[in-house]
């Protein structure tokens, strides 16, 4: 524990004190299952912490070796973890299939890649570090289901209500189960290697012997549903893999729905990629140069200083440089405080991303006020900031050695900024139509002014909105 205490002391130097105390309690006092795939947003809510500070604290703790970070590909229907990765670089496939749901889906970083934290074995050894030793229900809770599934407190009872039978099957072993089948859709599901055999049980009950054999190996081939009648099923299971497996017989009905229906917010890959602390600590290690990962919706904010050339002429190179640098520092801090990240600076301009449009607009309003204050501090030297915001789909890529974004949405956001005049915030219809953005503007008594415009290099004319200053 001496080494762990040393890590705690080092972490305390760089993170919020309240978040640090909560993390230390978690590592020392929490039960094992609370330290596997920690949902940092849920943790922040229960500990009364600011989400951004909690995320930053866990990222710094991971950098020190207190936690391991995992990127988990999720089924959008059941919330099960289809694949888990130690780095986003190994997330390569564009399409995934959930065997339990018998459904395929295209990967995006919005809600289908979860980022979770697990305590390292060097800090505290927990059962999940050896998942093949977990009891069957704990395997489902800690390994199969994502941290976004709000599982019931009486988890074991809920699992028993949802399944007909289960067995723990060591490598090379066989088992025979006698299962009473109701008239329902039944799935023989195995969570370790993600294999499923569907049973379509319908018609009149039968007393005849019904036999089904399922063989598990390291090569899974698609199987069609087997038609059966209500009655007793003699289920033969054979494990030809080199690991323990956990076959379970599910009735896909109300009990499964009750088990998995409730969800809670979790940290997505999209949000983490737009987190300033993450970019500062891990930005160059996120993706490979040939990787392109889809994001369905991301908000882009571009800024530029109007008349910066004249500023250098009036103040001289040194004074103007320090003033422009101060402006960059202020903008970066504002972006981070609103849950975004600066992607790059270009000349006197900033490109930043935010997980939602309202965060981008809130940051823009804060930037406008901050530039007025900075101008007053420098004897009324006007810093005229132009801001443009747009939201939409994009690709996360590596460009010029750093994590970046590519696509039509990025181009539009840059062009929108070009149409802004001094101290102007110009946004697209997608931004102002966002419910949270609308509430934010109403709270600040700001009414966007609509105007159509043609954007350079963009074929279609777009409806833009200028957000005026108060008064």
Q: Domain residue spans in the chain?
A: 2-127, 159-260, 285-467
Q: Is the pLDDT of residue 264 over 80?
A: yes
Tell me the average pLDDT of the chain.
91
Q: Is the pLDDT of residue 422 over 70?
A: yes
Structure tokens at 228: 């059966």
Residue 466: how many CA atoms within 13 Å on its side-chain side?
A: 15
- Other beta carbons within 10 Å of 358: 20
Q: Is the pLDDT of residue 117 over 80?
A: yes
Residues 6 or more apart whose CB falls under 8 angstroms from that of 471 comprise none
Q: How many residues does the chain have?
A: 471
What pLDDT sits at residue 40? Answer: 98
Q: What is the mean pLDDT of residues 240-245?
A: 95
**Residue among 46, 95, 111 nearest 263 (CA):** 111
> Does domain 2-127 bear CATH number 2.20.28?
no
pTM, entire model: 0.90
pLDDT band at 317 (very low <50, low <70, confident <90, very high): low
pLDDT band at 429 (very low <50, low <70, confident <90, very high): very high
> pLDDT tens across 37-75, in order?
999 999 999 999 999 999 999 999 999 999 999 999 999
> pLDDT tens across 337-387, in order?
999 999 999 888 899 999 999 999 999 999 999 988 887 776 666 778 899
Q: Is the pLDDT of residue 169 over 80?
A: yes
Q: Measured at the alpha carbon of residue 28, what is the angle toward residues 65 and 278, in degrees to the nearest 5?
A: 35
Q: Is the pLDDT of residue 471 over 60?
A: no
What pLDDT sits at residue 214? Answer: 95
Q: Is 19 exposed, middle or buried (0-12, 13-18, 19+ CB in 10 A)?
A: buried
What pLDDT sits at residue 94? Answer: 85
Q: Is the pLDDT of residue 470 over 80?
A: no
Q: What is the mean pLDDT of residues 100-110?
A: 90
Residue with the bigger pLDDT between 189 and 289: it is 189
- Other beta carbons within 10 Å of 399: 13
What pLDDT sits at residue 384? Answer: 82
**d(Cα 405, Cα 417) in Å, to the nearest integer?**
17
Name the least confident of 83-97, 199-213, 252-266, 296-310. 296-310
Fold held by 285-467: Alpha-Beta Plaits (3.30.70)
Q: Is the pLDDT of residue 291 over 80?
A: yes
Q: Is the pLDDT of residue 308 over 80?
A: no
């Amino acid at each position: 524990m001496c080494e762990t205490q040393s890590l705690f002391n080092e972490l305390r130097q760089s993170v919020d004190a309240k978040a640090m105390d909560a993390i230390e309690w978690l590592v020392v006092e929490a039960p094992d299952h609370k330290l596997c795939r920690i949902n940092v947003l849920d943790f922040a809510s229960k500990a009364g912490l600011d989400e951004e500070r909690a995320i930053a604290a866990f990222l710094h703790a991971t950098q020190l070796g207190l936690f391991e970070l995992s990127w988990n590909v999720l089924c959008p229907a059941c919330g099960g973890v289809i694949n888990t990765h130690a780095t986003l670089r190994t997330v390569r496939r564009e399409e995934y299939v959930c065997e339990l749901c018998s459904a395929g889906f295209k990967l995006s970083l919005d809600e289908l890649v979860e980022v979770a934290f697990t305590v390292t074995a060097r800090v505290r050894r927990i059962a999940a570090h050896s998942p093949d030793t977990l009891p069957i229900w704990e395997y489902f809770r800690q390994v199969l289901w994502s941290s976004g599934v709000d599982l019931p407190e009486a988890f074991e009872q809920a699992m028993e209500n949802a399944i007909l039978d289960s067995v723990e099957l060591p490598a090379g072993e066989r088992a025979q189960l006698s299962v009473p089948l109701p008239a329902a859709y039944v799935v023989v599901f195995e969570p370790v290697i993600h294999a499923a055999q569907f049973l379509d049980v319908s018609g009149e009950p039968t007393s005849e012997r019904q036999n089904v054999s399922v063989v598990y190996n390291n090569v899974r081939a698609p199987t069609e549903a087997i038609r059966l009648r209500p009655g007793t099923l003699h289920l033969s299971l054979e494990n030809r893999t080199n690991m323990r497996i956990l076959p379970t017989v599910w009735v896909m009905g109300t009990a499964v729905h009750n088990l998995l229906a409730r969800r809670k917010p979790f940290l997505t890959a999209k949000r983490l990629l737009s987190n300033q602390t993450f970019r500062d600590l891990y930005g160059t290690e996120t993706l490979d140069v040939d990787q392109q990962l889809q994001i369905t919706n991301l908000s882009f904010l571009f800024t530029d200083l109007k008349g910066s050339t004249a500023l250098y002429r009036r103040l001289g190179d040194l004074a103007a440089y320090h003033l422009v640098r101060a402006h960059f520092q202020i903008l970066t801090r504002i972006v981070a405080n609103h849950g975004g990240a600066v992607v790059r600076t270009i000349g006197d301009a900033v490109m930043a991303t935010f997980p939602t449009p309202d965060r981008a607009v809130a940051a823009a309003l804060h930037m406008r006020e901050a530039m007025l204050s900075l101008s007053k501090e420098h004897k009324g030297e006007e810093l005229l900031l132009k801001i443009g915001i747009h939201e939409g789909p994009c690709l996360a890529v590596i460009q010029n050695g750093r994590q970046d974004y590519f696509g039509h949405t990025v181009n539009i956001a840059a062009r929108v900024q070009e149409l802004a005049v001094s101290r102007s915030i110009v946004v697209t219809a997608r931004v102002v139509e966002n419910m949270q953005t609308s509430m934010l503007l109403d709270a600040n008594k700001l009414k966007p002014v609509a105007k159509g415009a043609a954007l350079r290099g963009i074929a279609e004319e777009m409806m833009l909105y200028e957000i005026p200053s108060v008064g």
